[in-house]
Structures are given as C-alpha cells and as structure tokens.
Amino acid sequence: MLDQPDFLNLVARGETGLRPLELLAATQSVEARFGRDRSRERSKGPRTLDIDILLYGDEILELPGLSVPHPGMRERAFVLVPLAEIAPGLRHPADGLTFASFIESVSGQGIYLRAARPV
C-alpha cells in the first residue's frame, strides 16, 4: 500500500527453542503490547508494529496463520535489502535461489537506508 507514512523495517536473525506456531504467538503478543490491534487495521496498511517470520531454518511450512518461507518476501525490497546485508548467500529452501538475486527486480520500490543514530 503506497498511501501511508514511511516506516522503518529491519531483518533480524536469531535462534529459538519455540516451535513455529509458538513463535508466531510470541511475536503477536509483542505486537499487541506495542498497541497493534489487527481488528482495526486496513490490509497491508499502517500499523504500530509488524513482526513477520520470514524463515524458520530450512523448513517449508503451511500452518494455520503461518506460511514459511514468508510468501511475499521475494517481492519486497524492504525485506530483501536488509536480508542481503546480514545473509547475502542465504537461499530459499524450496528452490535454492539466493534472496539477494531478487533485489534488482524490486529496485524501484522506493526504499532508502536510514543512517544509524548514536545511542
């Protein structure tokens, strides 16, 4: 959705002992603590916080409310650019193509890097 304010986006890599649906519940709990109310949002519109599970190791999952790898990640510059920064050689578990190889196809999406501010 283009009719919305700019937003910050980041990609983080981590490890968890949680199963996929447990991780989904945990991320949605964090979103709610930051004021996210899914019942009041427009689809793909502005939100206070949005945590997506892009990947879960090399697994391919279709679960209630969770698809992994995230189905739209290869079409979104705001996902691919920071993902390529932290894991340039990371490959899609289904076809083995690197996520970085898709950056050129999304280059016109209007993202820009925000300079880090000193803490």
50 is catalytic: yes
Catalytic residue, chosen from 3, 6, 36, 74, is 36
- Both tokens of 20, joined, read 């996929």
Catalytic residue, chosen from 47, 58, 114, 117, is 47
58 is catalytic: no
99-103 long-range contacts, CB within 8 A, separation 24+: 99/73, 99/74, 102/74, 102/75, 103/77
Catalytic residue, chosen from 52, 74, 91, 114, is 52
91 is catalytic: no
- Both tokens of 2, joined, read 């283009």
Catalytic residue, chosen from 13, 37, 38, 50, is 50
Residues with a catalytic annotation lie at 36, 47, 50, 52
